[in-house]
Structure 1
Amino acid sequence: MAIHDFNKDGQADIAVANYGTKNLVTFMGSGNGTFENRGSYGVDFDFAPLAVDAGSFNKDGRSEILVYGYYVIKFVVNLS
């Protein structure tokens, strides 16, 4: 699970790698302590993801996501 402001609204958002369904699910923070499920955005993997990390890895000021598998790392460009 990675917590980061993916849509630049000032609220913490969550990205979760789902091992069973091999996809990434995002939840956008609403500012009142709740999160809205925004779905997988069509990001499906040909491997079982184990962990995620978030940050501006390419230094463009937008959040990107890294998804880790056993022998794979996949870079996901900002989904917002």
Structure 2
Amino acid sequence: MSPLSRGRVRLASSDPMAPSVVEPNFLAEPRHLATLVEAVRYLRKVVRTGPLAEFIGDEMLPGASVRKEERGDRKRCEMDS
């Protein structure tokens, strides 16, 4: 995957010992979020397969009830009602 989102790193102050400010800008590109949603769907299928299912318990986060995709400016998951 070639990232399209661009973050930045800048100086926090003139003090050379001060940590830099890192703004990763993760998932700023809508296609990255769509790819992540598809990856989570695929992973959910993989962990339910016979060989893995016996070793993996219930999904903790975001939780098994999070399934629907809501379309808007950016795709995001919402709770089933």
Per the shorter chain, which TM-score range?
Answer: under 0.3
Compute the TM-score of the two structures, normalised by the length of structure 2: 0.22
| Relative contact order higher in (CA < 8 Å, ≥ 6 apart) | 1
Q: Report the structure, 1 or 2, having the larger helix content.
A: 2
Q: Report the structure, 1 or 2, having the larger strand content.
A: 1
